Amino acid sequence: MVDQFEGPIVRLGARIAVVVALMIIYLPPLYLLAISFNEGLQPAIPSLDQVSIKWYLALAEENKLLAALGESLLVATVTAVIATTIAFFSALAYMEMSEHRSGWFMFVIFSMFVPGVIQGLSLSVIFTKLGIPSFWATVVAGHLLWAMPFAFTVILTMLAVVKRSYLMAAADLGASWGRRLWDITLPLVRPGLIGGFIFSFLLSLNEYNRAFYLVGRQNTWPLDMFGKMNSGASPTIYALSGSILIASFLAVVLCLLLTWKRVVKTS
């Protein structure tokens, strides 16, 4: 039981504020989800007899859009793996440093502040100069500049739980650098690694500016979506958005279930 310092009016006010804030956040995507089940061509909330999965079925035929989504998933996965790995080792380096920490920190996160169009353009110029054709890996290169600094900050926050004395104790018991990394650091920062991975995956999946310059013959999903909007929106893009929303929701539920199971097991 937590002691309650605030009076009932303050508590009620806080609750209302939370509900309003959550509604502002969740209503637009829920609206999108709702109209994706509308039978008609115009975006509108369907009445009960108009509910239909017609556009979801039509989605299966949208080869171009699906190929773009596939491309984006590939780019996002590769980006997330590489960004998390680089970010992890950059964060380890940060923890080992004493004097040049803030310099290193700024160096690693700097690309976060460079506008995407500039990064995209400059990379594209360099790749052309080097004779490297644009394909999914060139998009990954651009996305790393964007996602890695975020993964770095997430992992760095988590690394704070790895006290220096844990590593000293492990060394004292005979553990080499590798064993200390594997037995002590990695298990303790695992939540940060997962967080960094998911974060960079989502940042890459959504990214438009850099991909615009670096993409090859196969569009990524955001590029294709924008293209579709310009040439008159087909309701299938609502269905695609709806599917992603539902998939995200299921992923969150799965994560919660797994965490819950672990909590039950340990207590």
Q: Give which of 245, 251, 161, 144 is closest to 196, Cα–Cα.
A: 144
Q: What are phi and psi of 174, to 5 degrees?
A: 105, 0
Question: Which residue's CB is nearer to another protein, number 34 or number 188?
Answer: 188
The dihedral through the CA atoms of 43, 48, 50, 52 has a sign that is positive
Q: Residue 39 or residue 183: which is nearer to another protein going by CB? A: 183
User: Is 73 or 159 the residue whose CB approaches another protein more closely?
Assistant: 159
CB of 96 to another protein, least distance (A): 14
Closest CB to another protein among 112 and 171? Answer: 171
Report the interface residues with another protein, using CB under 8 A: 161, 163, 165-166, 168-176, 179, 183-184, 187-188, 266
Helix (H, G, I), strand (E, B) or coil at 228: helix
Pair of tokens at residue 137: 């890996």
Q: Rounded distance, CA 232 to CA 229, Å?
A: 5
Closest distance between another protein and the C-beta of residue 187, in Å? 5
Two tokens, residue 84: 């998390």
